[in-house]
Structure 1
């Protein structure tokens, strides 16, 4: 019994030590630090209840479910915002491009207002895209919070379970030790009664049964049983000594186990339970406050995006006269001025083409002019008429639609003069223009500029207010010149080689292959591409002002350089131009220095 008691005692001490080691090992997982603002009254009330731990565990489960629902909502809202931004951006850019390609659409203030409104919609789409990104980030943060809190909840629950099990095992051992003491005490009591019964024999208090002739023990002895029947006094004494020894050992074991149980109980209720409750309460506070923070942040971002859209639609006055809102942009359309301009251009373009129309001038004023006077009148009309009115006059040095090699051989130059002229004007007046090259010019003005450049390149003054104030007309004319080359800058013969080189997923390999293809271009095409890429390199260097990054420039210039009808290769064409432009210095500048 002593060894059994010692074993039980050792088991009790081992359990407490193991729990302490387990608590130390999981200290990184279970938060035990309590904020100074922790409500001690709440902690005291939880300690006094029998279900404080389970109460907090269930509360954490509720909070995690709520947090998950918020995270799912934010993720779905982000998906909606992202899809909305993509569709709005696609609509704005497609509408802008389609209108620019519509040759018979209205020009003047209408096209300017229309393109400006599309830029406003594009800006709104970009802000919605940023909003979607922020919502996705918040959703991921909440999901991570849920994982962390559930991890801490499980670790704290396991720790609490181990302490409770240890206390229950110790209490069970105490009950068993107490039962041994009581059983040994009863055995000693029966032995003493039996012994007392043997002493009554000498006093003639024992009688024989008249029935069977056997000895009858008194009631006190009969109550204890006949365990020691036939025992002599020496055996009785030895039995008494043995029972008393076992009684003493059982009492010592019971006392020792009871002290250990009281120590474990005090440690659990006075130290471990409050720490466990504090840890669980901190988990509740962490997930509740985290959820509320992200909900408040969501509300703030929602208000901010609505406010940003409002300021985009109607900018404050302190942003300057160029920052027109959507309503002011639409109101800037001047139909009367547009119609007057259109009427003048139409008359210039179609005057004299309808021979059946009534003639305002008589033959004496028009039909019978002397030959010299008629020629002078024709030249006067040509000089004062824009665009189409000059179509019937001979072109001095045409460049649009003329082979690149032929142009440069004719003019004896290394770079086409028309390219130099337009690039210099664009660099002088357009590097800070938003959407340079991306925003199309007015169709009629672009055609007029093409006609003037085709007729007398040197006589065209691109510093005039007509061209510098709307630099998009110059960029559109430049792209038209590239598209109308019979053989594009990236020649048809080398087209597939450029496309194959652009397919390389490895950036370095793609750069090397495209460098080789550029070097394989004919000299006129190589020098033209080199000059154009140098110009576009300057455009990209001002991307903070014009929003034209390498990718944006490649998208708008790529089709003009390749001029291919194969739409499936559009992304590869853009990737080729993007790579060449990114490595402009390595491909052109360093090679020229060598």
Structure 2
């Protein structure tokens, strides 16, 4: 947690430095633009420059530059505020992190000291117990063993290298003295045991407080610090994005005001309003009056067309949607679109396991069948609505299960009836152990589909789509992209989004089996039948809003 908080602090500090430098750049830019515009504005009348519509509109252009500079001055001020706010959050986070670290170190040191005190008390108890044991051995007459013995951990700390008979502790002691020593060492052992118990209890209490109270509080404080700093940084980034959008929008409005009755002209209008022909005529007339002579202008074949000079025309190179039914991959060999992998069954297998097993992001059968349909069958009337021969569908299914990487639909006999390919793909979806939109999300999808407001229904369905597991999301996205291209040819194949939703709705979005068997609707029918309209509505909305949900 300390390392994670350090990363957040460094990230925020870096962002604060960036915004501070960016503010300086914006302020320098705004100052330079304003200075340049004012300089040229004040000097223009002093030079022998053009007057008329050009002079007037040139001043408008310079005035627009000054407005742009003011816009960027405000942006620089906002960036400085963002930098200062992040810096304050960084200081608070550093202070909180330092406090948590010091508190943790203090409590940890207290616990370590308590454990050390317990260990020292245990050593003293071991020594006292060893002394008492020696007395007992002497009392029993075993002085040699008493002199040479070592007990417990104290063995490495304390031993007597010679026997009592050679001058030990109890040499020439009578029984009464040995009894007094026994009582003395018994009290010493008892006292050491009480101290050990006290130290152990104190250490245990500190341990409980540390792991159950102090440490969770420290971790929670660090987590709060991280969350506050990360959230604050994200807010400032969003604020920066909004301000950046605003400055760009403000610049755009200055350059080209949206209101035709705006008090100031935009750059484009100012440039377009320059009338070179009129200015030239005014100059000739003024010059003629000023010189008091008559000047005849030379003969010209064609004057410049005023309407052409006062208007701007734009052309777009954007191309509309292609009317061709084949995709860009139509010229790609079919073999290149077929992934190579080992032969494993794919029908009736769990989707996630399939993708993980084969190392792909999208089920290969979906890519292969969709590619074949888009190549040769996308214009077929009733594609997906019409079913192929059952035996031939089962035959194609067996080929996929045997080795999907060896299936080449562009050379397979199934291509003679593209409905067989479509039927095989629909069968694969039907035989999934769990529908593509999952049993867990079924109630949420149905409730979203019941919303009458189209935009709100799209939002709620979009939220549920984002809740899908990664494998299901990627598969649904690929399928919806394919169906979107199919419905683009609705004028030929008669398969609108509504018709495709009727085909795929109950397959992709199905109620759990226990709910189908147990629940009974208001009219006495199974819930599956009652929900069918909403199943189709959910799929139709997702397909219709495919680009809003998956692309844009």
Query: Could you tell me the TM-score, scaled by structure 1's length?
Result: 0.45
Indicate the structure (1 or 2) with the bigger Cα radius of gyration.
Answer: 1
**Larger relative contact order (Cα-Cα within 8 Å, sequence gap ≥ 6):** 1
Query: Could you tell me the TM-score, scaled by structure 2's length?
Result: 0.49
